[in-house]
Structure 1
Amino acid sequence: MTQETGALFIGTAGWGIPRSIAERFPGEGQHLERYARVFSCAEINTSFYRSHKRQTYTRWAGHTPAGFRFSVKLPRTITHDARLHSPEVLLKKFLDEASGLGERLQVLLVQLPPSLSFEARVARTFFETLSSMHGASVVCEPRHASWFQPVADQLLAEWKIGRVAADPARHSSAGVPGGWMGPAGDGAGATLYYRWHGSPRIYYSAYTDTWLHTRAIELDSWPKESECWCIFDNTALGAAASNALSFTNQIFGHWHAQRAVFEEGN
């Protein structure tokens, strides 16, 4: 997949490097420095469980090259404990901390608990507040069935919030991106965010090459102006980094094959 005005980011939740493939991340330095020489992005998940000082985010940014980008998961105090209600104080604290990433902060991830149903008033107030406080792209991973109804999708689109495409998909629409799909609704100009948690055993199972190849073909169908994020969250046994490496090869292998067919026909 190539991008002209968009981008393709492939990475993992966190930046762990399994010992079994450590040689694929050569060079000196800390794990993040070695990871960032291979992948173009990382999703910071630890922010969900605890706060980090702004200096910590700044240090992480300093361990990465200029083109590297982070997504950061909102704290559970906002999404799970407060359940999106009265978010101003908690959001300000979190955003002040995460601003230490500077221009490397690209996406804010809002993951909702499975028990949190869609309430238009609460959702509108929350996303309006978040959008007014920060200019990063925002994506939402809801897990209650009510969030996959047209009215919820319309509200997300209204505030330019992308709906995460997750695997395993908890509902029939959960495996494909939704919400804000760009001005024309075709994905161009939108952030299309995939989170792959491992299947059949969530967080543990590795994906097969066949599964990865199918995903590579799917990604290639999006307009070049879309920004696609592919995050592997099957980290429990170290499969995420291996799958991300294989998927990168699948993506570029597929693109080169398509280009060869095109050139042969012309």
Structure 2
Amino acid sequence: MSNAKFHIGTSGWSYKDWVEIFYPKNLKSADWLSHYAKTFDCTEINSSFYRLPRRQTVNNWMNNVPKEFLFCPKISRYLTHIKRLKDPEEPLQRFFGVFEPMQTQMGPVLIQLPKTVGFDGNVVEHFYALLKQQYAQYKFAIEVRHDSWMTEDSYALMSKYDIAFVMSHSGNHFPYAEVVTARNVYFRFHGPGSLYNTKYDEKTMEKYAQLFKKLADDGHELWIFFNNDWFGYGIENALSLRRYLERLARQAPVDSGNENYQVPR
């Protein structure tokens, strides 16, 4: 296909309703991550959004997976929902003070904004510049939920600072656009109908496999996560998407002149 990589997983792994769907009935919850890592090569860490873990917990997670397994932790909601990206210095120091040991096994750090935070160019550029100046060793992706972010000015700032725009599929719940702002491409599937508890059909997975192959053929590294965790739907969809991509990998590269996604100029 190309030298670009696909990373496909789910938005977390600690779900009780996955027992007997994905996890064996008698498997201890402490062993869920290691079991998950036998099937997938990456996961999001959603729990860090609500409460930062201890450094020992971070080390334990790393010790429970192969060295090539990758984590995408979500930035604390204190920074995104309470501080609203303003005065980010101290929240970032606390976050990376905890997650620094994971640096060698980390994919993009996910910055998830609420619907109430609109685009403010001055605030956003200060935030992005700080990430570039102080945390250049990390990759970042931003998921927006207010329409004011869906503009050329917003996308241009992401491109300037190599921040991946998160393509967020959620039916009609969150803004959606197929825009590429960095080498890393980050995609989240929240469910085609109601959030988190609906399953994508095979036709949809096949369609998105075509898009992802185009992006890979153009040299992008893709991070694809399913957040429709109810009833194990995310696991089923992730495995389905992977099968379609494996099938497409045996085909010739897609002509990059026919891309159907937007690249800011």
Alignment TM-score, normalising by the size of structure 1: 0.86
Match of 2:91? 90
SS in 2 for 1:51: coil
Match of 1:160? 162
SS in 2 for 1:174: coil
Tell me the amino acid that sits aligned with residue 249 of structure 2: W
Answer yes or no: is 1:246 the counterpart of 2:247: no
Structure 2 CA distance for aligned equivalents of residues 194 and 47 of structure 1:
19
What is the 5 A alignment of 1:34-53?
A: 34-53=35-54
SS in 1 for 2:107: strand
For residues 128-174 of structure 1, what are the alpha-carbon distances to aligned partners after superposition, in whole Å with 9 as ceiling and x for unaligned?
A: 11222222111111111110111111111111111000102659972
What is the 5 A alignment of 1:130-149?
A: 130-134=131-135, 135-149=137-151
Match of 1:214? 207
Which of 233, 246, 249 does residue 255 from structure 1 map onto? 249
Deviation at 1:211, TM superposition (A): 0.8
Deviation at 1:15, TM superposition (A): 1.6
What is the 5 A alignment of 1:52-71?
A: 52-71=53-72
Answer yes or no: is 1:194 the counterpart of 2:192: no
Count of residues in Structure 1 that have an aligned counterpart in Structure 2: 244
Match of 2:261? none
Which of 225, 231, 236 does residue 225 from structure 2 map onto? 231
Deviation at 1:32, TM superposition (A): 0.7
Tell me the amino acid that sits aligned with residue 44 of structure 1: I
SS in 2 for 1:205: coil
For residues 90-130 of structure 1, what are the alpha-carbon distances to aligned partners after superposition, in whole Å with 9 as ceiling and x for unaligned?
A: 11000110112130012111111111110001001111112
1:197–1:248: structure 2 CA closer, same or farther, 3 Å change rule?
same
Structure 2 CA distance for aligned equivalents of residues 84 and 246 of structure 1:
36
Deviation at 1:236, TM superposition (A): 2.8
Alignment TM-score, normalising by the size of structure 2: 0.86
Question: Considering only aligned residues, what root-mean-square deviation do their CA atoms show, in Å?
Answer: 2.1
SS in 1 for 2:100: helix
Deviation at 1:253, TM superposition (A): 2.3
Q: Percent identity?
A: 28
Deviation at 1:30, TM superposition (A): 0.8
Tell me the amino acid that sits aligned with residue 157 of structure 1: S
Match of 1:8? 6
Deviation at 1:248, TM superposition (A): 1.3
Structure 2 CA distance for aligned equivalents of residues 177 and 62 of structure 1:
36
Deviation at 1:18, TM superposition (A): 4.3
Structure 2 CA distance for aligned equivalents of residues 207 and 136 of structure 1:
31
Tell me the amino acid that sits aligned with residue 119 of structure 1: D
Structure 1 CA distance for aligned equivalents of residues 80 and 7 of structure 2:
25
Tell me the amino acid that sits aligned with residue 101 of structure 1: M
Unaligned runs of 5+ in 2: 253-265
CA contact (8 A) 1:36 1:68 kept: yes
Structure 2 CA distance for aligned equivalents of residues 141 and 87 of structure 1:
17
Structure 1 CA distance for aligned equivalents of residues 12 and 216 of structure 2:
28
| Large movers: runs of 4+ above 6 Å | none
Unaligned runs of 5+ in 1: 182-189, 260-266
